[in-house]
Amino acid sequence: MCIWIQEDNSMAQNSVTVKQLVDNTRLEIVAGNQYLERPITTSDISRPGLEMTGYFNYYAPERVQLLGITETSFSERMGHEELLMVYRRMADAATPAFVVSTGLPISDELKQAADEAKIPILTSTLTSSRILSNMTYYLGGQLAPRENVHGVLIDVHGLGVLITGDAGIGKTEAALELIQQDKARLVADDRVDIYQEDEERLIGEPNGVLRNMMEVRGVGIIDVQQVYGAVSVRSHATIALNIHLSNGKIGEANFDRLGNDNDTLEILGVKIKRMVVPVTPGRNTASVIDAAAVKFRTANMGIDALKTLEERMSAEMIKNEKKDLENKND
């Protein structure tokens, strides 16, 4: 069974400024310090090879324009007026920035065209492929579609566990107990902001205002980093497992008793493993969450307790059948 989350509070960051890109991808500013607030609205990066020849039919001006060894060496064959004309066409009102890789020299024509259009020029000593990867990774994460989910996200033994359930069921208290036992680190409490990193991975992070904070009923707000130290928190985590806490009594609902249920939770089109855990008086929920996370990790390593049990039972049945057959022959 697959549970699908599609909330009305689905969101996506509309843009990232060039300054934010510079601060997070080891870029240096060559010109246009005053233009760093220009918005970037897409994670796609353009390598304007055909455009250098004057072919602009499919030019995407809204992308960051990355110039590497190929583009720069080709431009050296062009005359001043021709090169200036090409760069002026590339310097569109929607173009966020020019990036020159590999520490290559920047032509006067590019500086002139960028200055006229009020576009910053950035550079890096990294190769084109490396800086392209860095920019795509950062922009992809910042501009990806997002959803916020009511729950608690913790890192249990290096595994991102999203704890969900009705309000007041004890999600925060269970997470807090694991943090106190040094078995978990807090990522987000109450509201978890989730975005899709790729086709198979979901990244969860806290809302900026709620970062490192937990609300415990009857106690109030706790700053986890201040109380339990910097090692007790994480800025983000890859979500691998959803543990849903349910109010149902063990004898009144069809809870998975053998661990062979294939429930999944779907968020932003990505499915993750889902376990439903009953919450009853006297049951240590934190210990159950810890055990569930360890079981999930060992299962991914090929250790299947259910399969081992089935093999033992089969062996015992064969052994008993042999005994029965021997007794009949006697």
Q: Which residues are catalytic?
A: 150, 171, 190, 257
Cα dist from 144 to 9, 11, 200, 247, whole Å: 14, 9, 14, 34
Cα dist from 130 to 118, 137, 197, whole Å: 26, 11, 18
Residue 136 contacts by C-beta under 8 Å, 6 or more apart in sequence?
43, 44, 45
Cα dist from 212 to 13, 24, 234, whole Å: 22, 22, 8
Q: Write the Ramachandran bin of 302: left for phi over 0, alpha for psi from -120 to 50, otherwise beta.
A: left
- 118-154: b or e for each residue (b if 16 or more CB lie within 10 Å)? ebbbbbbebebeebbebbeebbbbbbbebbbbebbbb
Cα dist from 265 to 4, 158, 272, whole Å: 6, 20, 5
Q: Can you tell me the distance from the alpha carbon of 154 to that of 293, in angstroms, rounded to the nearest whole number? A: 11
Cα first-last separation, the chain: 51
